[in-house]
Amino acid sequence: MPVNRIPTDTHAAPIRSRAAHVALFALAIISPALLTAQEPVPESPRCNVRDATRRELPFTQEEDADGARFVWFTNCRAGFPYSYVPTADVPRSAAFVEVDSTTPSGGPRPGDVAWWPTFMGITLMGPHGPLRTPGRLLLIDSLAARLGPPRFFRRRVDARTPSNGGGGSRDSDVGSRHLFPWDSVPVFTRRETADWPGAIRDFGEFSMFVPAASRVTIDRATGNVHLSWPACPACLLSVEVHPAAGQDMEARIAQLVAQQRTIDSINHDPNTVLHEFDVIDGPPQRFRTRTARGYLIREDCGDCAHVSLLLEKPGYVAWVELRADDDVPDLGRHVIEMTEIGTTFTWRGS
C-alpha cells in the first residue's frame, strides 16, 4: 500500500500539486448530490473556514448553472482555495493552467477540470471518464457530443498556496481533514442504474441488487460472490465477507493510510533509487447507504481501474471490489454503474 513521505522543501511544490488533484478526485466522487442551499457563495479572495466545513452546498443549482461554483467549493474543502471565477473566465484565470498531452506531468488526470465555454466539472478518471457535478455524474464524451471537445485545466498550486490543514501537503494527503463527519456524509443514491431490471438477492450475511444481465458465481471454498458485468467482459464486481478478527473498519483504514504514508515517504526521498508502488490513490472517502456506512477506496493497480467499498457490522467486515481493465470501452460509465450497484450492499438483519 502507498505510504506518504514527508516532503522536503525541494519537493514541496510538485508534491502539493499532485496532492491537489488527488484530494479533488476523492472529494468529488463522494461529494453530496445537490443539497438545499442556504446562501450564495461569497466571491472573496479565499473561502473561509465556515465555508470549508459547512454541511450544505452554499449555492443553488441555478446559481451553479455553469459548474464553476461547485469546482470552487470543492477546491475550498480540499484545502486549495482561490478567488471564485465563473466558467467563462477560467482560461484567463491565474488559478488554473491548461493541460494536454504535452504537459510535462502528462495529460488530463483525475481532479482536473473539463472545460467548455459554458460549463465545467471535475474529472474522475481522466479525459474520457465520468465528470462530477453537484447533481450527478456525467460522461465527458456525452457532453462533448453536445458541447464540442473539452479543454482541460488544472488547479495551479505551489508551495505558497495556503491549506486548511496547514503545513506541507503530501502526495496522497490522507489526513483526516479530508473526511466529512459521519452525520454530514450524504446517503448514496443510484442514478445511472436506477431503472435497471434486476432483483435483490440474498447471499448469507448480506443481500444486494443483482442486474438481470449479470451472471452470478459463488466460490464454494470462500463463499465470495462474483458478478459479471453487462456489456463488459473485462469488468468484475466481487464481494467477500469475513469476521473482523479484532480489526474493525476504522482500524483497517488507518492501516492503509499508514502504509501509504510510508510508501510516499520512501518515494519522495531524493536518495531513493527504486520506488515503491502506491497502495491507494488519494484518501479513503466516507459514504453512507440507507442501512450501512463505509469507505470508498481508490486502489492503485497500474493498468486497471480498482475501486473498493469497505463496510462493517459488529464482528464482520465486507469488501466490495470493482475491477476493470484500462482499455475497456466506456470505462468511466462502467465504474459508475458498478459503484452504484456495490452500494446496494445491505447486511442481513439491517
pLDDT digits (tens, 9 = 90+) for 199-240: 999 998 999 999 999 999 999 888 899 999 988 988 999 999
Q: What is the pTM of this model?
A: 0.57
The number of domains in the chain is 2
The model's confidence at residue 5, banded by pLDDT at 50, 70 and 90, is very low
Give the chain's end-to-end CA distance (angstroms, integer). Answer: 32
* Residue 251 belongs to some domain of the structure: yes
Q: Are residues 86 and 233 in the same domain?
A: no
Opening angle at CA 329, ends 194 and 232, nearest 5: 60
Name the residue with higher pLDDT: 133 or 121. Answer: 121
* Residue 330 belongs to some domain of the structure: yes
pLDDT at 206: 94
The model's confidence at residue 140, banded by pLDDT at 50, 70 and 90, is confident
* Residue 161 belongs to some domain of the structure: yes
Q: Are residues 300 and 165 in the same domain?
A: no
pLDDT at 105: 59
Opening angle at CA 280, ends 218 and 31, nearest 5: 90
* Residue 181 belongs to some domain of the structure: no
Q: Are residues 228 and 316 in the same domain?
A: yes
Q: Are residues 23 and 140 in the same domain?
A: yes
Q: Are residues 237 and 147 in the same domain?
A: no
pLDDT at 273: 67
Report residue 201: phi and psi, to 5°.
-120, 145
Which residues, 6+ apart, have CB-to-CB distance to 118 below 8 Å?
A: 66, 87, 88, 147
Q: Are residues 145 and 100 in the same domain?
A: yes
Q: Are residues 159 and 220 in the same domain?
A: no
C-alpha cell at 209: 441488487
Stretch 53-57: mean pLDDT: 55
pLDDT at 14: 41
Name the residue with higher pLDDT: 6 or 145. Answer: 145
Q: Are residues 120 and 221 in the same domain?
A: no
Dihedral sign, Cα of residue 282, residue 316, residue 322, residue 306? positive
Please tell me the distance from the alpha carbon of residue 206 to that of residue 190, in angstroms, as a whole number. 19
Q: Are residues 165 and 249 in the same domain?
A: no
- Burial of residue 299 (CB within 10 Å: 0-12, 13-18, 19+) is buried
pLDDT at 200: 94
Give the three-state DSSP class for 279.
coil
pLDDT at 106: 62
Q: What percent of the chain has pLDDT over 70?
A: 69
Instruction: Indicate which CATH number applies to the domain containing 282.
Output: 3.40.1000.10
pLDDT reading at 26 higher than 70: no
Query: Residue written as cell 484567463?
Result: 92
* Residue 216 belongs to some domain of the structure: yes
pLDDT at 222: 86
* Residue 191 belongs to some domain of the structure: no
Give the gyration radius of the chain's Cα atoms.
20
* Residue 294 belongs to some domain of the structure: yes
Name the residue with higher pLDDT: 254 or 18. Answer: 254
C-alpha cell at 74: 470543492
pLDDT at 267: 72
Stretch 173-196: mean pLDDT: 65
* Residue 187 belongs to some domain of the structure: no
Name the residue with higher pLDDT: 38 or 84. Answer: 84
Q: By C-alpha distance, which of 8, 129, 114 is closest to 67?
A: 114
Q: By C-alpha distance, which of 164, 132, 176, 162 is closest to 50?
A: 164
Report residue 333: phi and psi, to 5°.
-65, -40
The model's confidence at residue 174, banded by pLDDT at 50, 70 and 90, is very low
Stretch 70-92: mean pLDDT: 84
Q: Are residues 214 and 164 in the same domain?
A: no
The model's confidence at residue 6, banded by pLDDT at 50, 70 and 90, is very low
Name the residue with higher pLDDT: 163 or 291. Answer: 291
pLDDT at 290: 81
Query: Residue written as cell 443481500?
Result: 207
Contact 301, 308 (CB under 8 A): no
Name the residue with higher pLDDT: 229 or 18. Answer: 229
Q: How far is CA 182 from the centre of its chain?
A: 17
Q: By C-alpha distance, which of 124, 117, 109 is closest to 88?
A: 117
Q: Are residues 202 and 153 in the same domain?
A: no
In this structure, the number of other CB atoms found within 10 A of the CB of residue 124 comes to: 23
Distances (CA, A) of 121 to 15, 132, 143, 170, 280: 23, 6, 11, 24, 23
Contact 140, 131 (CB under 8 A): yes
DSSP letter at 280? Answer: B
Give the range of the structural domain holding residue 282, as residue numbers without chain letter: 198-347
In this structure, the number of other CB atoms found within 10 A of the CB of residue 29 comes to: 23
pLDDT reading at 3 higher than 60: no
The model's confidence at residue 136, banded by pLDDT at 50, 70 and 90, is low
Helix or strand holding residue 249 (H, E): helix 249-267
pLDDT digit string (tens) for 276-289? 777 787 778 888 88
Which residues, 6+ apart, have CB-to-CB distance to 90 below 8 Å?
A: 68, 96, 113, 115, 120, 153
DSSP string, 23-70: HHHHHHHHSPSSPPP-SPPP--SS--HHHHH-SS-SS-TTTTTTSHHH
Please tell me the distance from the alpha carbon of residue 344 to that of residue 309, in angstroms, as a whole number. 11
Q: Are residues 37 and 135 in the same domain?
A: yes
